[in-house]
Amino acid sequence: MEFEITFTNGAGLADIEIAISGVPTLGGLRLLNEQLISDLRFRAGLTLLVDLIALDTGGLSADELQRLSEPIVERDWFYAPAASAIVAPADSTYNAARAYWAHLGGSMSNRQVFRSKAEAVAWLKERSRS
């Protein structure tokens, strides 16, 4: 699993843009969390745009998806996002992202899963007006 984290400093589509590729792993998600938490710009209440376009979720079981959500649940306890839009256009990735979203608390987690970046950005903009 590989990822790229970009803090946009107000100049992007969200406060933080994250692109994740490859096969998701528990270790990879823990490393992603460590990098976020160690950055002084990271805090609760930020908006995130998470790009899963290059993520390979084929073969992930329901139990694996639940385990993969655990590091994010832990992070949210201290650093809950204002809104997090997840872009997952491929059917298998979209379905996995929806199951992951459910493990994180569904709509109560301030997250939503979208098939396109345009839909995700529109939702983030709507959330920022609320």
Number of domains in the chain: 1
Q: What CATH code is carried by the domain that includes residue 73?
A: 3.30.750
* pTM attached to this predicted model: 0.93
pLDDT value of position 81: 94
Q: Assess whether pLDDT exceeds 70 at residue 129.
A: no
Q: Domain limits at 28?
A: 2-129
55-88 pLDDT per residue, tens = 999 888 889 989 999 989 889 999 999 999 999 9
Torsion of CA 116, 61, 4, 104, to 10 degrees: 70
User: For 10-52, how does the pLDDT look when each residue is reduced to its tens digit (9 = 90+)?
Assistant: 888 899 999 999 999 999 999 999 999 999 999 999 999 999 9
> Is pLDDT above 80 for 130?
no
3-17 pLDDT per residue, tens: 999 999 888 889 999
Cβ atoms of residues 47 and 124 within 8 Å: yes
Give the Cα separation of 15 and 112 in Å (integer).
Answer: 16
- Residue 112: the pLDDT is 97
- What lies within 8 Å, CB to CB, of 28 at 6+ separation is 1, 2, 3, 22
C-alpha–C-alpha distance, residues 77 and 56, integer Å: 27
- Report pLDDT for 86: 97
Spatial separation of the C-alpha atoms in residues 32 and 58, rounded to whole Å: 21
